[in-house]
Each structure stands twice: as C-alpha cells, then as structure tokens.
Structure 1
C-alpha cells in the first residue's frame, strides 16, 4: 500500500529502464512532443498514487477503517491486520457490500457513511475538504488544451472531475456499467471521466476485493478494450498488483500504435513490471505531482514556442511591413516595437540571480534568450529595411542599453547575457541596413558608443559583436546568421543568397571600420603609400633605363614590391577576421583573397566618389582611403583562409579546398 514517505521518494527516472528500451533520455519531453503533435492519442489511467498528496484515503484504507468500526462495535481487539481479522471472524474476505450492510442498513445511510471519507466537511464543517492534487490540476491543464480527453480512474474520489471544472470543463462522468451504455462516441467528448471501480456515491457498486478485481463483466470489459485499441495509455500512480482483470485487458488489447507511459513513485512490482515489459511501456520514476506537472509545463512550453515563432514573428513582421510602407509614420508599429523591446528587457533570465543561473545548462539559457529576441529583432529589421531616420529613433537607444553587462560579481558569460540579446538586435539592424542600401545607418551603427561598462568605453560594434563568442561556438557570426534566417529570408523576402551576401558585407564593413579605428592606422597607411611611390618610381626607372641599367632597375622594383607587400601585411594585421562570416578563395602565388572584398574594390575603383560606401564616409571618406583598407581586409581574410584550408584537410590527405567560409570552414554554395 502507498505511504506519504514513499511518495516523497526520488523523482529521477529509474536507472537503465529508458535506455534499455531505446527511448530518449528525457521521456517527459518525448511524451510532451507526442501529445502536442497528436492530441487525444493517450488515455489516462489514474491509480491511487495520484490522490495521495490530496489526502484522500485509498480504497484499501477505506475498507480497513470500516473493518475497524465493525471490530469496535463487537468490542473486539484487533491484534492483526484488519482484513485478516475480518476473514477469521466471518470466514470470508471483506467486501464493500457486507461491510456497509453491517454498519448502515439503508442505502441513504450507506451513502452518508462513505461520504464522510471523501467529504469530511459533511460531518465536520471545520474539516478541510479534499482538493485536487497538483497532478490532477496538471492533467486538467492538458485537457483544456485538448491534449488529453479520456480519464479512466480507479479511485472512488471525484478529484479529477473537480480539477476539470476548475479550468472550465464540465466532464461527462460514468460511475457504473449502466452509465457506460449511455456514453456518446468518445471522440465527440471534450473530457470524460470513467470510474472503473465505481465511486463513493455508489457504494454497493464499488470494487476493491480480490474477487471484485479478478473479473469485471462484459459491459466494462468491452468498453476498456475499445479504449485500449484506440489509444495508448498514460498510467499515473497505478500499482497494478491487485487489478487482475485490468491487467488482463491491457495485456490483450493495448496496441503499440503509440508508446505508452507509466509514471509511479516506486519501482513496479512483479506483475506490473512484467506487464510493462510485454507492452513496452516507458517507465518514469517519480511522484505524480512532480512528473505530471513537468509534462504539462513542457507541453505549454512547446505551444508557447510555436505561438511566438514562427507564427507570431510572421504576423509581427508582416504587419510592420504593411504599416511602414505607408506615407506616414505608423503609430501602431512604433507601439508594437516598444512593447516587444520592453518584454525582452524584462525577460526572467536577464534578472534571475547569477547563482541560480549558474546551476542551469548554459546552452539552454542562450537558446531561450535567442528565441525571445527573434520578434523584437524582426521588428527592428523591418523598421530598418522599410523605415527611415524617423523610425531609427524607435529602437536605437534601446539596442544600446543591451550592450551593458550586469553590474555584479559572477561568471563572465552569465554577466554578458544582456549582450547576447543586444547582438541579435544589432545584427538585425546592421544586416538590414546593408540589405536596404542604407549605408549611412550602417556606419552609424558601427561607430555608435556602447553603454558605459567597467572603466572604458567601446563602440557598440566592439561590445555587441564580441558577445557572439559567449555563445560557445567557433563560428559566432554564422550562428547568429542561422538564428536570424527566418526574419530576412522568410519575412523580408531577401532570398537565401542575398541574405548571406548582405551578412558578409556587414561583417566586411565591421572589419573596415574596426581597422580604421586603430591608432596605428595612419602611420602604417603612410608607410604603404611611401612604398607604393617607390614602386612607381622603380617602374618609371625601368621604362627610362637603357640596356646597361635595366637589370638594376628591375632589382629595385623587386625590392620595392617586397617592401610594399610587407607594408600591406602590417596593415592587414590590424583587421580582426576571427569569427567573421566571410568567404576565402585561393589565388596562385599568394595567400588568397576575399572575393566579396575584391569585387567591392573593383566597384569603388570604378565609381570613385559616387560609390555609396564612399558617400557614407567608409574608410576615410575617399576612394583611395577606402581602397587601402579594403585591400588590407582582403589580405587578412586570405591569410586566415589559407590557414583554415590546411586545417580542413582530411586525415589521410587530399586536395586543399580553394574556396570556403573562413569561420565555418565549409564550402559556399555556388
């Protein structure tokens, strides 16, 4: 029999039981996924274990109390277990009918006697009425969302019905075999509770003795068989040891169309364990309150995730696109964006104590924050892509506020969690501005000052793009690119190729402006300019030299070219390529280059002052100054790309890839 001490036992899954059956490690999450995908696939079987925490006596406990009352009426002393005393005294095993007839002679008296066990307030107004347990309420939550509809209970109480009514569901209830005959088709019912062993309001129909539990009868057998053929089972708190008839029905009729699950706080005993093995139940060890509560939470989390992404993201971006496409500023788009940014700032993971966060899996925290950032990032991208300087004010300052770490002691990556959210917003804005050709905004983003942190100031770009590394990925830009993919490809309709090219150009511009902010840039650029003048002089000298001096002039040119290459190399060292999602291609005779940067160089040389990046003041605002920085960036990408190409060689050797992304070391799609 169950005890409160047993109910408080370990809630972990029984070691080896799930792995032996080839199921996933976390069976609760697996079941949650099944219930979400196939609502109504499982019927719930409620045993005594689900009502323990509600303080309701078990059927066996009720019988024992009735026997004790009979013993007291006969002035007998119980020196042994109540059922043993009764069988010795009367020569038969205890059954509800004879027990109740000995204590209450009329049906009304019998019903009143049973009521006091399950409604103590009917006898003592000050006695607390039994309330549904946490497990009952969790099952009711699942019923409200349509995930569960059929509840087969072996308990005499009405707690499952009460829990359903608490969430606004009026269940169909069957207490006797006669009630079953009048049930409509089960698939038409929102919720049905069937008392397989009767209930306390029908005491003469209650089942609890060995003989009563050995055979049910055709009416009940047929109903249970029908349910088992159409549904898998979710057994909660069912010991199964005494339910011979029910075990036989489960054995004969339960199909394996879906996996059945068995939640119980103790290890299943012999008969139950054998049945679980034969019918391939997944066993979950733990209290009903703990495990069923977690199941309901998991299903709710899946539903919430689906509701916010991608459906809510679709609605948010589509609405913003429509409103921003008008001739006047859309107030509702502004309000929606402000609301979503506020919600992100108030996300629980950004305010929980660091010590509490430290006890949880870091990738799970990162995943939640990236998910929570999608809608505000989508709205920022929409405002950037279809907006103007007026709409930029809606989000710019809020984004800056996400660049400050939490001001307390703790693990660095946990303190930087706000920056992960800020990175999502920042990347959405930066890539959106590049895709829209709003390069003045791109440069503003790259030069904006971050919120003050520690003892120094950083640019917004340095502060937020650095946070990509805290995601624990060797290719942080590519990770963010994947996370924001739905916003740009599915909702802004850029197309996959255009999105990736806009992202690459955004990373290139970040390197250009990062290099341009280095204090040693001017000196190194002046050195390169001087070496290039020497190269030009050497070329003129060759052109003017006679036969006796041409070889000397050629040697001077070779030396000048080597000095120029070294000067460009020193300039390239200032470019931070690590983590950038940029393509590399090999080029015969040198380290290779960044093809996107080489194409950009040719465009700047062709368009000169008319090029949009020059007009947006990238580099130093001149074609010549931008060209020099782009050359350095291309060389830096080529140098790192060559290194990564060698690293990507298979163990047995092979051809060195001549075209790859330097961060992921993957070959780009052509």
Structure 2
C-alpha cells in the first residue's frame, strides 16, 4: 500500500485555551482529510439498530426460549449472561459464527434473520435509517474533511448516509479485502469495519473475538492511528481489547485526539484520553457533535472563502439544477445568497430611524442598498425558477420565507416607512419568482408565492396575512420616498413609481432568460394583475387593495376586453393553473369575484392614461 503524506498540515492545540468543540472544528477545517473518525455503538443508538452485542444477546435469548419453551424466564436469563449460558448449553465458547450456524444454518435463513435487525421493516422506510450524525458525517466526507472512518458497528448506516449524497465508499469489512483496496489517499472515503459487516460470518462480537485482530487488519489499523488525527465518538472502550491496545500503542500523535463522551467514562477510556492528552468533549450526543461540527466548519468556510461572483453563481446553479446529486449544492447557493442579504439587513447597515432632514436620503440609500445586496439572489431566482420543472420550488420558497423574517422583530424606535423597507428583499424575491414563473409558463407557482408564507407584525395580535397583502409594493415602498428616489427620465413624478422602479431594477436578472423588453414588460404587468387579484380575494374591506401599478394603464389593461383584463377573464375556468394549485381556495367563483373587485377598484381609483 502506498505511503500517505501528512506533511504541511496545521495542528492547533486542543482544548486548553479554547473550548474543545471549537478546537476540533478549527483542526478539521485547517487540515482537510487528516482526521479519521472512530465510531462506536453510540453513533447508531438513535436509529433503533441494535449493537453487535445486542444482536448476539437477542439471538441467544431466542435460542434459550426455543430450547426451554416451558420456562417463561429462559430468554431473560440467557440474555443476562449470554456467554455463560451458551457454554453451559453447548459446551462450546460463544462465537458469532457458531451462534448463527445453530440459529440459522442456511445462508438464506441467516440473511433473513439478520436483516430484521438492520433493515427497515416493510412499510416503515424511515425506521432503522441513518441518523443526523450519519448524515452530518456524510457532509464532512463530501466536503473532503474526512476520508477515513473506523467503526466498531457492523450496521450499514454510514454507507447508506454516504450513498444518499452520491458517494460510493470503499468498504473494508474482512481482512482478505485489505490487500486489494485503493490507497487511503486515493479513495474519497474508506470505511473500515473493525468488527465486520452484519451479514459476514467473520464478525467479531464476543470478548474472545474482540481480544485480537487478524494481522492484515491490525497493520491497517496501526497505520491509520499513526498517520491520522482521531475523533472518537460513541465508543466506550469497555470490550474491544484489541482496539484499546492499538490506541495505547500509538505513543506519539502527530495531531490532537478528540474524544466525545456522552455519559460516564469507562476506566479504559479515561486511561486513553489521559495518555494522549485528548481534548474531551463531554455531554454531547453523536447527533449534536457532528451536526455542530458541520455548522462550525461551514462558518469557517464563510470567513476564509471569498464569495463567488454573481455570474459564477448562476453558472453553478444551471449545472446543479438538472442533477439530483447536486441538489444540496443548489440549495447552498441560494441559501448563501439569502444569508448575504440578512447579514447586511441590520439597523447598522439599514437604519430604521432618521430625522426629517435626512429621511429622504436614508430612504433612498436603504432602497438602493437592499437592491444591491439582493443582486446575486435575484439572478439565481430568475434563472432557477425559469429553468426548473418544479423540483426545486421549495428552495425558492425558502428564500422568501427567510427574507420575510427580517420583520419578525420590532426595533425599539423606528420610522414606519424605513421599518417597512425590511420587507423589500422579500418583495424583490417574490416579484422575481412570479415574473419567472409567468415567462416559463408555470403560473401554478404563483399559488405558493402569493399565498405563503403568512406573516403578521410582531406583538400586534393580528391574523397572519398572505404575501399578496403584506408585500404590496405600495405598502413596502412609501410613495413620496419613491418619487424623490425614482423620478421619470424628464424629472417629473411617475404615476406608479413603485411599479416602474420594480420593473426597471429587476430587468437585469432576466436578460439571460428573456431578451425581449416587450415580453418582459408584459410578464411584469401580468404578475401585477394576478397579484392584485389575490390581494382582492378577501372579505375584509380595507385589505382589498391591489398592487397599483402600470398594469392599470390602458396599454396593458386593454380596451373592450382586448387587453390583459380580457385575456385573464377568458382564461378563468376550473382548469386554470392557479386554481388547480390552490389559489382562491381552488374555487372559480372566488377568482371571478376577485377579478370583478379589481375591475371596479380601477374604475374608481386607477389612472387610465
């Protein structure tokens, strides 16, 4: 096997000046691929899968119950001390192979017996599945942080979690496999199952079986312990004598040893952590340990990696969009773009209080700032929604949900119109999603974009309202502020400054998906029209207020039913995509009533020139 180089990596002293969990994250982040995991039974507890010894106990108990059917305590007595009972009953030491041979002599029956312990039961696909810890470990492997996993478990939860993220691990469960494996540095990840696989007769479970390892396995284990840092989780060190000796035999460590302990330390564990001056992380379950590690490492990524440019992000999104194995990459692209917005939406960056003399400047500065901060996200949404087939609709929706929460807390002192601007990123995102859905003929998506998520002002006691109401541009963007910030080209006041600004400022994200300015303007007008119909779909009179905008102009609305209004009236039927997706409660009369209410409102209030 080729030698592996670990020269040049950074080792950060563990657990003295900083918290051990922090030290572990710093080491894993600074030295990708250098730390191996040693996983014990504690990692799989939450899955409902029995430990290897638990399986042995259970099978011995069943054998005892069959041998002595008239004794109701036979099973519990045997399970209390399986080795003693087995030797007394068979005159042979308890071994996994002998036990299976006695309980299920044929391969098919043996496989069926073992599968019940490790595979989901029929109709219960979520049982006996990978835990949050297994899935977090898979993320660490995917990002290249971990490349070697030692495990005393013989379930296949680690392998299943890796396969879920598109990784095919190199698995070693028998000594005879070692000679032919790829060098550890050449494999994306190698899972070394020290006690074998559950379907393997060479499994090691009993005290005698755990006393020594075959030479090939011992040499591989010694090499990993010598050349890699080690993160121990879920291993008690109580029974695995050969593994304890191997860890003891590693006299000088090149990298710190991190040991996560949930519960009381065994004497062997206490001795090993003391010998290697290990950083002990106490009181965390396996799920908590590894999900926390992933979060901390990703936080370090954000500090050390320059944000990708907008155009590069769009290219990456287009590559990930059709590939089911890159769904997490796509999710991360959008989520990181949202985080860039939320990180700069504090009162420090976007003031919510200003004097009367500075109010107009502050308003304009905040509007332009929110738009600039949202640029990458808006390009991702325009291209993503347009090219998607509905597979990732939950990703686009989550972006809006996170942005809506910018107003989930109320500052102590604020100007009403500056405070309402905190919903501007959500409005920009919703408008972009809506126009992209129209351009791609996926208007059913509007049933989600205009009706969810609900929101109510904090501590107001009001019912939660739909985006069609609380994201109305005329509520989010104060009219006088928009007149000052966005005059017409000749300096006059625009009839619909909010509508005109949104259409103009969001043109750029759509250049790649819709080159035609006319088609883009028509899509914007249609979105405003449909959003206004949703806003009029209410029994509460004062909330029936449309997204007053340029779609009201005769050039869009039309004459004698020949324009947009007439087209939508003609479309209204039980098969209308918005109705089928749940808009207007899925009720055609409600949609028609909303159109009528919008038409009447325009007749009373709208500008027609």
Q: TM-score, normalised by structure 1?
A: 0.45
Who wins on radius of gyration, i.e. which is larger? Answer: 1
- Which structure's residues are more often helix, by fraction? 1
